[in-house]
């Protein structure tokens, strides 16, 4: 770095320090944290920060121990290199010895001998340094070694025992979505904005790192598709940002790197053809050394015979000894692992090739293997100094999974655009990201009418419907209809889905008759103009009408249409398609309404098993099915099973972003009720209180009143009538601000009369001014016998055990 460049870096860093804090996302895998009470803004200190950023861009500097520890505890997805003074190290290192995020600790001090004594007890201390140059050199080498350890991968077993199927099937689902994403990116047409998106993102992230910005400028000026491998193997922003995005499955960043992923894949594919022709056999054995956490290694060890997918471009070597060096030594936090990969039946796999002539590191015998490659785990053995894992690269995958992946690829079609990626994100339940992409596309399209605009409007309408913003959903669907009616008659088959979508929004607005009108128009056009009767679209149209009949409580008609939907989908869709889960769930709900619990349970269980195989573990659909199963058990007075499924629904809800606070409170209320019926009043009270704690900041007075009422009933059962009376009073006082509550007021008053008949008139002489409403939960609490316990339970909990 020249003197001028160094000066510019220092000026940029000073501007950062003395300007308002701007949040910067962590786009790399590593963070450097520097803790020293003597850190200042001198040029010498700032120059050190510049040099640190040239090794690892994301640097956090602290002179306060508590602030540093608080920040350390907030890091979840990145790994940390900690530089700390000797004096503060003696305080913080003991607190961090079990932190999984800390890779290495570097002690920087003046008295090496003094700090060597206490530091011997801690294995995560890399070394003690009195010279900054030696520390920086070791940090750079350590970072290079650890970057190999961050390879994103998924492990799954197609022949797992029943006990392990659940977790591994979730991994299979994540694997499936990732494979589809990569397929879409590889098939997207190149855009003039693609390279600009990558450059803009990189410049923002490295805005205070002159050394890396030089590489970004160099990439902009000299990059060509024929040197993609050179840039990927270079230690620069491309490898760091892309691999972090792939490891965390950050769809936004992956998309911004779409053109580079495509170029890298295509160059590797071209080299692959030449490479396999040069081989004398149909088998190649390569090696890869890296460190792995004990947890990651155990997952592989327990699934010998299963499959592992690498979700990045994987660097391997023909040199076993060289690979062993990258495995490193065994440490307390990491295990040294050497992979031996046998690649057989060469022509049938994703591309791989010898890249020595094209790599930034020409002295290495490097074999680069394509992203998305799948391997079978043959064996896992521990030797004296490392773990030895044998893998076989072949095309024998889980057939059901393979069929499902192929179905989605066929559904994508031959042409892919930004709309395709948006559709993919919608299937993932990533509504905010999908909307962002559709908005991006609208900005890129010409101002004149474009054929994609109406489809984008339609999809944005679907997103708003999923976000429960029904007015905007109707707005965009009617905009779609208006555009299409400019060149189509009102009974054209191209309008079927538009009518169906409008009907669905009216359904959500509870305007059922208008919803039925649009749905019947859609299905009428289909039956008149399209001969195919076994088609997924027709199944969806039948399903829409079934949903409306369910809301109108015409359960026989609803069940008839739901079965029509299921029969068509069983013919048209793969065995474990998510839509089949929805079909079974809907049929289960109707049987539950008809009190046919046996058939309801059968269909709910089928729905759940399909979801476990085909959907990622954070998909919103799990929330619905667990809630419905819980309600079913609740109505049968099987409260322990109900609680178990309500708790699973709760875990699903907290993992959905943004999560619905009302749903969390409803689940707490349902769990409380189950505990109440089991006479576990302590757990019932705790869950009612948890629900109340959610409602209070939301100012949901009706729900707060319902919870107070339920707590009053809980104390009544325990014969603590004074406490019961106080909670009933709170219920009434809250509801006096709400309109149209006379009926509910009388119910609460009747509940109070039963426990303190002399107080209801003495303390509430003007009943109208101090009374309000109650939930259905108060209605049937007043008198019920043992024989009708289950039925009244279901009735009075209907609002809170709603099927989703």
Kindly tell me if the per-residue pLDDT of 364 is higher than 80: no
Report d(CA 529, CA 526) in Å as an integer. 5
Domains of the chain: 3-150 (3.40.50.2300), 152-416 (3.90.176.10), 620-804 (1.25.40.10)
For 568, other C-beta atoms within 10 Å of its C-beta total: 22
For residue 597, give every residue at least 6 positions away whose Cβ sits within 8 Å of its Cβ, in sequence order, or none. 591, 632, 635, 636
Q: What is the predicted pLDDT for the residue at 252?
A: 79
Kindly tell me if the per-residue pLDDT of 801 is higher than 60: no
Run of H or E including 282 = none
pLDDT tens track for 244-283: 888 777 777 888 888 899 999 999 999 998 898 888 888 8
Specify whether the CB–CB gap between 639 and 687 falls below 8 A: no
Kindly tell me if the per-residue pLDDT of 642 is higher than 50: yes
Give the residue among 505, 511, 514 at the shortest CA–CA distance from 480.
505
pLDDT tens track for 500-549: 999 999 999 999 999 999 999 999 999 998 878 899 899 999 999 999 99
Tell me the pTM. 0.62
Kindly tell me if the per-residue pLDDT of 617 is higher than 90: no
Kindly tell me if the per-residue pLDDT of 57 is higher than 70: yes
Tell me how far CA of residue 768 lies from CA of 10, 741, 743, 763, in angstroms.
72, 10, 12, 13
**Mean pLDDT, rounded, for 754-770:** 42
Report d(CA 495, CA 262) in Å as an integer. 36
Q: What angle do CA 772, 775, 776 make, to 5 degrees?
A: 135
In the DSSP assignment, the letter for residue 319 is -
């Amino acid at each position: 770095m020249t003197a001028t460049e160094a000066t510019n870096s220092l000026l940029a860093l000073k501007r950062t320090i003395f300007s308002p804090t701007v949040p910067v996302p962590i786009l790399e895998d590593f963070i450097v944290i520097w803790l020293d009470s003597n850190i200042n803004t001198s040029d010498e200190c700032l120059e050190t920060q510049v040099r640190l950023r040239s090794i690892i861009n994301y640097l956090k500097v602290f002179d306060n121990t508590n602030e540093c520890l608080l920040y350390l505890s907030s890091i979840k997805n990145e790994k940390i290199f900690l530089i700390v003074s000797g004096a503060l190290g003696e305080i913080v290192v003991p607190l961090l010895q079990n932190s999984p995020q800390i890779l290495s600790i570097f002690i920087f001090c003046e008295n090496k001998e003094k700090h060597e004594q206490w530091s011997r007890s801690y294995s995560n201390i890399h070394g003690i340094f009195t010279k900054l140059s030696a520390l920086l050199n070791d940090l750079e080498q350590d970072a290079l070694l650890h970057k190999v350890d961050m390879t994103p991968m998924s492990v799954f077993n197609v022949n797992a025992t029943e006990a392990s199927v659940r977790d591994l099937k979730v991994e299979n689902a994540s694997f499936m979505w990732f494979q589809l994403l990569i397929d879409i990116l590889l098939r997207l047409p190149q855009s003039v904005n693609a390279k600009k998106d990558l450059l803009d993102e990189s410049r923002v992230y490295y805005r205070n790192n002159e050394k890396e910005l030089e590489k970004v400028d160099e990439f902009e000026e000299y990059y060509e598709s024929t040197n993609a491998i050179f840039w990927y193997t270079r230690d620069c922003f491309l490898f760091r940002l892309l691999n972090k995005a792939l490891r965390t499955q950050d769809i936004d960043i992956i998309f911004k790197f779409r053109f580079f992923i495509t170029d890298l894949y295509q160059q590797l594919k071209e080299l692959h053809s030449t490479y396999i022709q040069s081989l004398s056999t149909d088998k190649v054995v390569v090696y890869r050394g890296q460190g792995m956490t004990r947890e990651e290694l155990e997952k592989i060890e327990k699934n010998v015979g299963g499959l592992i997918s690498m979700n990045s471009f994987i660097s391997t070597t023909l040199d076993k000894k060289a690979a062993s060096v990258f495995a490193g030594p065994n440490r307390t936090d990491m295990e040294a692992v050497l992979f031996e990969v046998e690649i057989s039946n060469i022509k049938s796999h994703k591309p791989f090739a010898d890249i020595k002539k094209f790599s930034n590191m020409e002295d290495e015998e490097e074999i680069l293997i394509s992203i998305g490659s799948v391997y079978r785990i043959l064996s896992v053995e521990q030797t004296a100094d490392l773990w030895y894992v044998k893998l076989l690269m072949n095309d024998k995958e889980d057939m059901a999974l393979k069929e499902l992946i192929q179905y989605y690829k066929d559904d994508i079609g031959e042409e892919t655009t930004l709309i395709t990626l948006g559709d993919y994100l919608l299937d993932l339940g990533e509504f905010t990201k999908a909307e962002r992409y559709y908005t991006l596309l609208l900005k890129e399209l010409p101002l004149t009418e474009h054929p994609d605009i109406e489809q984008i409007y339609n999809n944005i309408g679907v997103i708003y419907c999923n976000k429960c913003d029904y007015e905007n959903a109707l707005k965009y669907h009617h905009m779609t209809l208006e555009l299409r009616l400019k060149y189509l008659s009102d009974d054209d088959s191209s309008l079927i889905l538009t009518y169906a979508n409008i009907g669905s929004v009216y359904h959500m607005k509870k305007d059922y008759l208008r919803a039925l009108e649009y749905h019947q128009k859609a299905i009428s056009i289909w039956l008149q103009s399209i001969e195919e009767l076994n088609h997924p679209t027709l199944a969806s149209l039948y399903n829409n009408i079934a949903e409306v009949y369910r809301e109108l409580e015409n359960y026989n008609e609803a069940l008839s249409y739901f079965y029509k939907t299921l029969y068509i989908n069983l013919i048209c869709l793969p065995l474990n398609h998510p839509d089949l889960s929805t079909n079974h769930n809907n049929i289960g709900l109707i049987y539950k309404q008809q009190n046919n619990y046996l058939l309801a349970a059968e269909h709910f269980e089928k729905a759940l098993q399909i979801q476990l195989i085909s959907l990622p573990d954070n998909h919103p659909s799990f929330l619905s099915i667990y809630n419905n199963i819980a309600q079913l058990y609740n109505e049968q007075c099987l409260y322990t099973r109900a609680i178990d499924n309500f708790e699973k629904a709760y875990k699903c809800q907290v993992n959905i972003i943004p999560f619905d606070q009302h749903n969390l409170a409803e689940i707490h209320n349902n769990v409380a009720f189950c505990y109440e019926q089991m006479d576990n009043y302590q757990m019932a009270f705790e869950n009612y209180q948890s629900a109340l704690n959610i409602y209070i900041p939301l100012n949901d007075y009706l729900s707060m009143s319902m919870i107070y009422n339920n707590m009053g009933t809980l104390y009544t059962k325990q014969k603590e009538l004074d406490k019961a009376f106080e909670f009933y009073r709170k219920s009434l006082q809250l509801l006096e601000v709400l309109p149209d509550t006379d009926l509910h007021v009388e119910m609460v008053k009747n509940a109070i009369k039963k426990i303190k008949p002399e107080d209801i008139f003495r303390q509430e002489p003007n009943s109208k001014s101090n009374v309000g409403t109650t939930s259905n939960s108060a209605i049937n609490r007043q008198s019920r016998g043992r024989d009708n316990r289950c039925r009244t339970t279901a009735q009075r909990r209907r609002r809170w055990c709603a099927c989703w």
